[in-house]
Amino acid sequence: MIIAVDGPSGSGKSSTARGVATRLGLQYLDTGAMYRAVAWSVLESGIDADDAEAAATRARELRLEISTDPRHQVVVADGTDVTEAIRDPRISAGVSRIAATNLAVRAELIRRQQALIAAAKPSGGMVVEGRDIATVVATDAELKVVLIADQDARMARRKAELSDGAVTSEQLRDQIVRRDADDSTVAQFLVASDGAVTIDSTYLSLEEVIDVICRLAKEAEAADMDSGDQES
């Protein structure tokens, strides 16, 4: 089974997707980490952040490794472990401008994401989370979820993730509001695709959201089995 989880910044996609993957014994793919790794590489290479062509070339050349174990995420870019570095506020502030809205970078990373998804299918499947998973990356996912929450809840969750105080309230709002506005120009993550289920997590705990998605996954699996029995 492939489960696609889309949604805006701070809606809880990563924690939810990891929890679902762990509970169901599936692999997990954080596509946002891939965009962050490209942004990190562009900045570390001294490339002008506004040079879209150079950023795309860097994305194509980048040796990128990302773990798909939901209990242990590791991101390695050109031999360097960047798992922590890509969460730096500098990367958060620049990822949309450098990578996420660059169509050539998106094409390269979508190609890589689809290859990882294809590789995961024979071993049980994967929970994939990001911006345009159901609409572009995994259009044939057996379960499509759009996870939303109101702006205050999303900001509170992002602040909790960055408990070291390195980000001001203004920077936090910029990450949430401005990134969503930028990314929505190239990714349809705010509108549910055909067959997708929208879950508002504003007043739900993480465990409650995981419960809902796991239940939906089991229902989708059962429906698929029934369909297969009828065809046979």
Q: What is the pTM of this model?
A: 0.87
232 is in an annotated binding site: no
12 is in an annotated binding site: yes
Query: Are the beta carbons of 52 and 186 closer than 8 angstroms?
Result: no
Taken in order of first residue, the domains within the chain and their CATH numbers are 2-226 (3.40.50.300)
Q: What is the reported pLDDT for 192?
A: 56
Residues with pLDDT less than 70, the chain: 161-167, 175, 178-193, 226-232
Q: What is the reported pLDDT for 85?
A: 96
Q: What is the reported pLDDT for 165?
A: 53
184 is in an annotated binding site: no
| Separation of alpha carbons 175 and 89, rounded Å | 9
201 is in an annotated binding site: no
Amino acid at 97: R
10 is in an annotated binding site: yes
8 is in an annotated binding site: yes
13 is in an annotated binding site: yes
Q: What is the reported pLDDT for 125?
A: 96
Q: What is the reported pLDDT for 76?
A: 98
Residue burial 113-152, b: 16+ Cβ < 10 Å; e: rest:
beebbeebeeeebbbbbbbbbbbbbbbebbbbbbbbbeee
Q: What is the reported pLDDT for 142?
A: 94
Q: What is the reported pLDDT for 48?
A: 94
